[in-house]
Amino acid sequence: MESRNKTQTSEFLLLGLSEEPALQPLIFGLFLFMYLITVIGNLLIILAISSDPHLHTPMYFFLSNLSFVDICFTSTTIPKMLWNIQTQSKGITYEGCFVQVYFYLLFAALDDFPLTMMAYDQYVAICHPLHYTVIMNPRLCGLLVLVSWIVSALFPLLHSLTVLQLSFCSDLEIHHFFCEITWLIRLACSDPFLNNMVVYFGSVILRGVPLASILYSYTKIVFSICGISSAQKQYKAFSTCASHLSVVSLFYCSALGVYLSFTATHSSHMSAIVLVMYTVVTPMLNPFIYSLRNKDIKRALKRFFGMEMFVKGPFALGLKNCP
């Protein structure tokens, strides 16, 4: 009890990516640049979709939700890291650490659901085009997003409550740039069995189930596209899914890297690099993947900034009923 009470009035120390003083300005500038690109890029996606009535479809509704989550996801970790570098401080309060843990897990979980909904939208559009408007109605889309927020809020709460039961020793150094839950569990003096079970259970539910749903949707999509006789139509159908598949691959490969870095190795340097890829690089690249490959997004951005003088031909979203 004495150890627990001592920890509650102490600070955790975030050692960051490097303790070399000469590298701190470089790290500060690089992460500030990536954070600004992430926020601005995702914000532009949201503004483009909300300002263009042609993009008020289920696919782009889920995409705007993904962009909002990515902004919040990076905002839970990077600002605190930049503040610590600027003030030459490594401390984060006990309460602040667990608040960061909760919101990091919340938005990490929320990243899975828009990707799953977008895969389902593609499945309905390609495999059941005649029933698309009936199935993907605004009420269902809103309900899916609401349920995803509720589920994503409950699991981090369970994580946080179990971690709060742990007692910590004198070593309060976290070899990362934010309060990472698996590292917190490693610092505990008490038995972390329950915490590890919650982590594994949450990973299966919040990672495995959405991934299985995405794979199922795209298996059906591939079989449906292979049944199309026209090669041109097949290419057009595959191209509509290319951006989403790229984001899914990037997200789950980086998430798998995070999992392997904590189970296969105890190298704090390696796990920190993987976490940077997962928490910073992936949210930063998402807007580029969708905007560079998506004519509708580029057209909406031009309209938003008032740079487009005319639109050639009738407006089209690619496949009929399939954004």
The Cα 322–Cα 256 span in angstroms is 30
Going along the chain from its start, the domains and CATH numbers come out as: 2-304 (1.20.1070.10)
User: Would you state the pLDDT for residue 321?
Assistant: 41
| Run means of pLDDT, 10 residues per run, the chain, 323 residues | 45 80 88 94 92 89 93 93 88 87 91 91 90 92 93 86 79 82 82 82 84 91 82 74 83 78 61 82 87 78 66 41 41
The 3-class SS string of 277-291 reads: HHHHHHHHHHHHHHH
**C-beta separation of 293 from 97 below 8 A:** no
Is the Cα torsion angle 293, 296, 297, 303 positive or negative in sign?
positive
Is this structure's pTM higher than 0.75?
yes
